[in-house]
Structure 1
Amino acid sequence: MPSEAQHHVAVEADVAVIGAGPAGLFAVFECGMLRMKCVVIDTLEAIGGQCAALYPEKPIFDIPAHPAIAGAALIERLAEQAAPFAPIYLLGRRVDALAEQPDGSFRLQTSKGEVVRARAVIVAAGAGAFGPNRPPLNDLDAFEATGAVRYMVSRREELRGKRVVIAGGGDSAVDWALSLKDIAARVTVVHRRPKFRAAPETVAQMEAAAERGEIDLAIPYQLHGLEGKDGVLDHVVLATLKGEERRVPADHLLAFFGLSMELGPIADWGLGLERSHIAVAPATCMTNIAGIHAVGDIATYPGKLKLILQGFSEAAMAAHAIHPRIFPGEALHFEYSTSKGVPA
């Protein structure tokens, strides 16, 4: 598992990577291959960005050498690839402030109080900071704190034998209902109307599973309340628009109401923005501020393609462009990984 730094401490690294999605994780590898140490900061509680939050079970078809790979599996492989370089992960917090220091380094302040000092920054924040749309339920914070209410699933096995209520009508809700039906004690899907916004094929599979009694469908219901004590969930209370209530025994509520996305504090850092994206130089992915680079979906330049594989390429270019900043005066002789291996 990725190691996390303690709260309210100073963290030193060569490169601060903002965003733990595919491009950010591959940036850790590319920096590591050039002997640069990384700290990775992300607003979500787990690595993976949108891959993990939105489509962990969905196959991705345009990753080289993988005719098809699920989003969660891709993140696992990227984390494994980055692991030899021991990145520091600061998860579940955003970067509230970024300021250049007199010596040319950068000081980053997180929402949980850490101060990060780095010689360079790679912004790999996807569409910006994003978090879940939370249902308006009483005592929600207490159940979130214990993990009884979740907005993403990092480990499927944690829900084995549990009574799970899934709320939502999109791909995430349907995908997880199908994924958990064979290991959870009970899966109940709550949606306000019979029509789902997910892929028709997976909706058909869910409906067939419901007919076989493998999944319970609570339609047309909405979340109305949570019952339990000290953050331990006992029941999820549902209600129709007519006020008819239903209590469903539950250990966990998975609420999939989409993500709210915004640039957040990034918009105040003085970077050259173009329609909520950061403009960069194509050859180096450097922004208008020397030492700050942007890769992945948040970066823009003429001819940009919003593909994961392009984010990988940008991560490599940014790492090589940063190297002279970390090792001034040291010549960088390009070597293939087949020749140099993975540095210790």
Structure 2
Amino acid sequence: MSDVIETDVCIVGAGPCGLFAVFECGMLKMRCAVVDTLEEIGGQCAALYPEKPIFDIPAHPRIEGAKLIEQLAEQALPFEPRYLLGQRVDALREDGEGFTLRTSADRTIRCKAVILAAGAGAFGPNRPPLDHLPDYEATGAVRYMVTKREEFRGKRVVIAGGGDSAVDWALSLKDIARVTMVHRRDKFRAAPESARQLAEAAARGEVEMAIPYQLHGLEGTAGQLSAVVLATLKGEEKRVEADHLLAFFGLSMELGPIAEWGLGIEHKHVRVDPATCMTNVPGVHAIGDIATYPGKLKLILQGFSEAAMAAHAIHPRVFPGEALHFEYSTSKGVPHG
């Protein structure tokens, strides 16, 4: 028999916005269960860039992804959220008093309201079409994220891609590794300041630039990388000795079972009312990157604001007939239990 969890709000997604939604709901005395497919809380911050600095969190001029998650978890801790990790919400059904959700781990959750904070759904890296790629992935020679910067100290690292992740890690690793940057053109999609810093680093000889090249092949034995083969569109090849290939070609996003729940879907995002973050299904709200509405900005700080709006909109469903008197945390403090 599967476990049955009774709670006020089920939050789907344990990334930054989902964790802050625990706090906002807790401040309104609403209990939360949080489900995530990953084995740890933190979403993309924990899985993809735990050591990457984030610069647009208010009051934090610079904070690493893992540290942000640590502090959000500490902020949510007084409200004792129930975390169900390493499992996916497969089904959502309305019942007489709220919703029943089923997870891939055979758990049943009954709640009065749902907050979707699932980023852009299940995500995975866009992999380059290279022969024997799984062999090199298995040994860690080819990676799509950096979790521990020190693992690359003294290594020969080829970084492929033209966006923020590729450029930021080239700048971060150039001081401890021999970095070769591969891109198909000389213009990068990264933040202009980061692109400028990369160009200056290349001019000083701190980063080798392989432009205009694309990944063409991998050389090595038993999954141990020895070189990356590059090629131009004209077929000109170049061999770069390497211990690691970091490929940053973005993420492939899939909504998964969420797409089957009867929600208003728009380009793999869920449409919501910007005033309440409610979807077309009353009681189901969406916040963070998965939510879309006119003027939406994909910023963590906007997701935090949406968490607060969703929590206040949900309160009447959890406590029908009870007036909600808005109070600032500075005056009411943080309630417990």
Name the TM-score class by shorter chain: 0.7 to 0.9
- 1:206-229 deviations in Å (ceiling 9; x for gaps): 233234343233334322334456
Q: Measured at CA, do residues 291 and 199 of structure 1 come closer, stay the same or move farther in structure 2, by a change above 3 Å?
A: closer
Matched residues in 2 for 1:16 and 1:89: separation? 10
Question: 1:117 aligns to what?
Answer: 109
Per-residue deviation, residues 118-174 of structure 1 (Å, max 9, x unmatched) = 413211234444432111123333443454332222443444444432111222111
Residue-by-residue CA offset, 1:258-298 (whole Å, 9 max, x unaligned): 22334443222111345654344455433333432112343
The equivalent residue for 1:133 is 126
Please give the per-residue CA displacement for 1:66-102, whole angstroms capped at 9, x wherever unaligned: 4x445736445434433454552635x6544433457
Contact 2:39 2:85 in 1 (8 A): no
Does structure 1 conserve the Cα–Cα contact (< 8 Å) formed by 2:218 and 2:229?
no
Structure 1 residue corresponding to 2:23, chosen from 10, 17, 29: 29
Deviation at 1:254, TM superposition (A): 1.5
Amino acid at match of 2:34: V
- SS of residue paired to 2:216: strand
Distance 1:228 1:218 in 2: 20
The aligned residue for residue 161 of structure 2 is 168
Q: In structure 1, what is the equivalent of residue 229 of structure 2?
A: 238
How many Å separate the matches in 1 of 2:178 and 2:125? Answer: 24
Task: Please list the CA deviations of residues 38-93 of structure 1 after superposition, one character each: whole Å capped at 9, or x if unmatched.
Answer: 22325798724489858944532xx4444x445736445434433454552635x6
Indicate if the aligned counterparts of 1:16 and 1:41 stay in contact, CA closer than 8 A.
Answer: no
Q: Distance in 2 between matches of 1:13 and 1:143?
A: 44
Q: What is the match of residue 193 of structure 2? A: 201
Q: 1:202 to 1:65 in 2, by over 3 A?
A: closer
Offset at residue 27 of structure 1 (A): 0.8
Equivalent position of 1:106 in the other structure: 100
Of 321-330 and 308-317, deviating more is: 321-330
Matches within 5 A, 1:297-316: 297-300=289-292, 307-316=299-308
Structure 2 residues not aligned, in runs of 5+: none
Residues 283 and 207 (structure 1), Cα distance of their counterparts in 2 relative to 1, 3 Å cut: closer
- The question of whether the paired residues in 2 share the 8 Å contact of 1:18 and 1:40 is answered with yes
- List runs of 5+ in structure 1 lacking aligned partners: 1-8
- Maintained 8 Å contact 1:223/1:236: no
* Cα distance in 2 between the residues matched to 1:47 and 1:197: 26
Which of 56, 59, 80 is residue 55 of structure 2 equivalent to? Answer: 59
Give the 3 Å change call, closer, same or farther, for CA 270–205 of structure 1 in structure 2.
same
Quote the offset at 1:246 in angstroms. Answer: 1.0
1:1-344 paired onto structure 2 within 5 Å: 12=5, 14=7, 15-33=9-27, 34-42=29-37, 47-49=42-44, 53=48, 56-57=52-53, 59-60=55-56, 63-66=57-60, 68-69=61-62, 72=65, 74-84=68-78, 85=80, 88=83, 90=85, 95-100=89-94, 104-110=98-104, 113=105, 115=107, 117-119=109-111, 120-183=113-176, 185-228=177-220, 231=223, 233-241=224-232, 242=235, 244-250=237-243, 252-274=244-266, 276-300=268-292, 307-323=299-315, 335-338=327-330, 339-341=332-334, 343=336
Change (3 A) 1:115 1:204: same
**SS of residue in 1 equivalent to 2:270:** strand
Q: Percent identity?
A: 64
Equivalent-residue separation in structure 1 for 2:109 and 2:277 (angstroms):
21
CA contact (8 A) 1:18 1:42 kept: no
Q: Against the structure 1 CA distance between its residues 329 and 157, is the aligned structure 2 distance closer, same or farther, given a 3 Å change threshold?
A: farther
CA shift in 2, pair 1:159/1:83, >3 Å: farther
1:224 corresponds to which letter in structure 2? Answer: H
Hey, what's the Cα distance between the residues in 1 that align with 2:285 and 2:118? 11
Mark the CA change 1:40 to 1:149 in structure 2 (over 3 Å): closer, same or farther. Answer: farther
Q: Hey, what's the Cα distance between the residues in 1 that align with 2:255 and 2:314?
A: 24
Q: Is the 8 A contact 1:12 1:117 kept in 2?
A: yes
Query: Residue 157 and residue 102 in structure 1: after superposition, are their counterparts in 2 closer, same or farther (change >3 A)?
Result: farther
Distance 1:301 1:208 in 2: 39
TM-score by length of 1: 0.75
Three-state SS of the structure 2 residue aligned to 1:260 is: strand
Shift of 1:175: 0.9
Instruction: Find the residue that maps to 1:125 and give its secondary structure.
Output: coil
Using structure 2 for the length normalisation, give the TM-score.
0.77
8 Å CA contact 2:271–2:293 kept in 1: the answer is yes
